[in-house]
Amino acid sequence: MNKKYIITYLLIALVIYFAFVFYTNKSQIQKVTHDPIPSIGMTEEYEEYSKSFKTYESKLGYSFQYPSHLYVMEDPELIGTPERLFILPTAPEPKGSIYGVVISIGVNDENMSPVEWLKGPDSGADLSDGYNVFDIDGQEAVSVEGGTWVVVNTPDNKYRLSIALLPGEDGTLLFTEEGIIISSLVFNR
């Protein structure tokens, strides 16, 4: 066989090998971006709309704004510390479709970063589609599932806030309202 053909066959074999390795390990590759959470922008209409926002202040050292057509309800089963909040558009009906934003606060005993916790067994997160790293009031935050779930630690790393959308039975989401809550979230230092 000619030396030229041997080199060609080896190159083809290498290309096939690398393509095989890439596609079989593709599920292990994670897309990490460092983009901010999308917002609705600072238009004149938004500025007028934001004048009616309410502010929730937690006894755990954080606060956020939310539109006035929503209300904040503490989880009646978890009154105390840590807390779970539901930000809902209307009072839930017994057989109605509950949708809104939930903020669950967990104690960060493990002293894990948001990414470490999301990669761990207790989060239940699927990071196969990647995740987005950004900043919330000076704290590293991570969003997954297209921005519908955000995790951030308090500055003292004592608590972990998990902010997620609760979809209604008909798929109703408060994505814009969740963005308002996240973009206005501040920690009392």
Q: Read off the pLDDT of residues 35-84 as tens digits, 9 standing for 90 and up.
A: 445 455 556 776 777 888 999 999 889 999 999 989 998 887 766 556 88
Cβ contact 165:98 at 8 Å: no
Cβ contact 60:105 at 8 Å: yes
Residue 29 pLDDT exceeds 50: no
Residue 139 pLDDT exceeds 90: yes
How many Å apart are CA 189 and CA 67, to the nearest integer? 24
| pLDDT at residue 141, as a whole number | 95
Q: What is the pTM of this model?
A: 0.73
Average predicted confidence (pLDDT) for the chain: 79
pLDDT per position as a tens digit, 140-155: 999 998 888 999 999 9
174 vs 161, residue with greater confidence: 161
